[in-house]
Amino acid sequence: MITGGTANGSGRARLRGLLAASTSAAGVENVLALAYGGARVATILQMIPSLPRGMKVSQEPRLYLVLWLLAAANAVGVVTFALVRRRGLSPVGVVVDVALCVAFLLLGTLAVPVPDRIGSWVGWAPGYALAVVVSLAGLPAGAWCAAVGAVSAAYVYFVAGAVTAANRSTIAGNTLTLIVLGAVAQVVVRYIRHVAAAADRAHARVAELARREEEQRARLTMHNATTIMHLLIDPALPPDTRDQLREQAAVEVRRMRAYLSRGSDTRSPSAPGDRHPAGPAEVALREVLEAGMSGFADLGLEPAVDLADGVMVGANAGEAVRDAVAGVLHNVRRHARATMVIVHADAEEDRGRWIVTIRDDGVGFDTATTPRGTGLAQQVVAELRRHRLTATISSTPGLGTQVTIEGKLAR
């Protein structure tokens, strides 16, 4: 029976570090390389106790020692390569490794007595061959078949002189062990690599989504601020409007500072809908709308939100509604040339929804041909959709624009 190696615990700390990275392809290759080297070292450790007896009974003690030392040196080389390069052997290294293994088996017939070639560590070459075959698991199918075939044939040659009627089944079983365990290792390694590659793809996808979301947050954070700055440099801006814009600019400065310092909190510190660890889970829709309308008196605002009294929305949704209302009003101020803006809110209990409409009497635009910028497309439509709210935009050139926001009433 071919004698296999046992696990060596000397590299446990390093192995734990490698396993922590095993969700990536590089981490998997690192662990596999260390496992291959560990199996080789374990085999050498099992060969050590039988070295004195092997030297004693060998017909060619010097050749026996040279082959033994070459096997040990090769094992150390495999482990060193795994530790330094953190991957398995190169194609050239695999060829050399297999060639040495075959040489150990073939030349072993000159140094190992016939009785010790089966079931004894004096005839260590078959056990060493098993460690080599297992380490071939990462090869392409064709190369793997050639390498395993060469090692198996060399093993048969090694034990051929020891064949008897009593041990034929043992020799056949050992030969199959080389092939079957090698094949199992091949399947396992391929599966692990497949899982690692899938994990890498998933990680890359998550990173890409996070990058896009961060870009979107940056655009949303800067959108209102750039609108305010654009208006503030207009020399024809009325003084009362300039004062309102300065107040809004102070809020946006705090928002941008929060974004740059923490990268996560882009809300104004004192607006309704802000989330804090001990903050409310829900906020009043009316307060949210009033916060969004703050600072836009120059637009001729006509708020009609009394019918929304008592309507509560989630804190996150409230934040999105507040920013959407402010974003719409910034667009009105910059583009619509409106003289009046009506913000109306209502609770339609029979339909289980609340609805907010923002309508201006400005110049309007053709929704079929005019592209929507960051304000309407992202800050209003996309952000509200993330909170399961709907936003529709209708406009007619010369007749103004209406934005409608809808959400479900809390039960």
- 255, part of any domain: no
For the record, the structure tokens of 223 come out as 């959108």
Q: Letter for the amino acid at 284?
A: A
Q: Per-residue pLDDT for 189 more than 50?
A: yes
What is the radius of gyration, based on Cα positions, of the chain?
38
Asked whether residue 173 falls in the same domain as residue 307, the answer is: no
- 17, part of any domain: yes
Asked whether residue 42 falls in the same domain as residue 123, the answer is: yes
Instruction: Residue 88: name the closest of 130, 43, 126, 139 by CA.
Output: 139
Q: So what's the pLDDT on residue 255?
A: 75
Question: Rounded to whole angstroms, how far apart are CA atoms 86 and 216?
Answer: 38
Contact 328, 343 (CB under 8 A): no
Q: So what's the pLDDT on residue 174?
A: 87
What pLDDT digit, counting tens, does each position of 140-174 carry?
Answer: 989 999 999 999 999 999 999 888 877 888 889 98
Contact 314, 274 (CB under 8 A): no
Beta bridge partners of 355: 346, 406
Q: So what's the pLDDT on residue 321?
A: 94
Beta bridge partners of 136: none
Asked whether residue 19 falls in the same domain as residue 100, the answer is: yes
Q: So what's the pLDDT on residue 345?
A: 95
Asked whether residue 379 falls in the same domain as residue 283, the answer is: yes
Domain count, the chain: 2
For the record, the structure tokens of 335 come out as 């583009």
Its pTM stands at 0.57
Question: Rounded to whole angstroms, how far apart are CA atoms 66 and 51?
Answer: 12
**Phi, psi angle pair for 130, to nearest 5°:** -65, -45
Asked whether residue 191 falls in the same domain as residue 286, the answer is: no
Q: Per-residue pLDDT for 275 more than 70?
A: no
Asked whether residue 198 falls in the same domain as residue 79, the answer is: yes
- 254, part of any domain: no
- 188, part of any domain: yes
Last residue of a domain, one of 151, 170, 204: 204
Q: So what's the pLDDT on residue 69?
A: 95
- 230, part of any domain: no
Asked whether residue 302 falls in the same domain as residue 191, the answer is: no
Q: Letter for the amino acid at 94?
A: V
Q: Per-residue pLDDT for 212 more than 60?
A: yes
The pairing of strands 312-314 and 282-284 is: antiparallel
- 151, part of any domain: yes
Question: Rounded to whole angstroms, how far apart are CA atoms 297 and 78?
Answer: 77
Total residue count of the chain as it appears in this document: 411
Cα 44 to the chain's mean position, in Å? 39
- 28, part of any domain: yes
Last residue of a domain, one of 204, 235, 250: 204
Asked whether residue 15 falls in the same domain as residue 132, the answer is: yes
- 65, part of any domain: yes
Last residue of a domain, one of 146, 176, 204: 204
User: Domain of 394?
Assistant: 273-408
CATH number of the domain at 330, please: 3.30.565.10
Q: So what's the pLDDT on residue 247?
A: 79
The pairing of strands 301-304 and 341-348 is: parallel
Beta bridge partners of 344: 304, 357
Asked whether residue 151 falls in the same domain as residue 281, the answer is: no
Asked whether residue 50 falls in the same domain as residue 170, the answer is: yes
- HSE-CB at 178 with a 13 A cutoff on CA atoms is 28
Q: Per-residue pLDDT for 128 more than 60?
A: yes
For range 61-70, the mean pLDDT = 95
Contact 82, 37 (CB under 8 A): yes
Asked whether residue 197 falls in the same domain as residue 279, the answer is: no
Asked whether residue 134 falls in the same domain as residue 283, the answer is: no
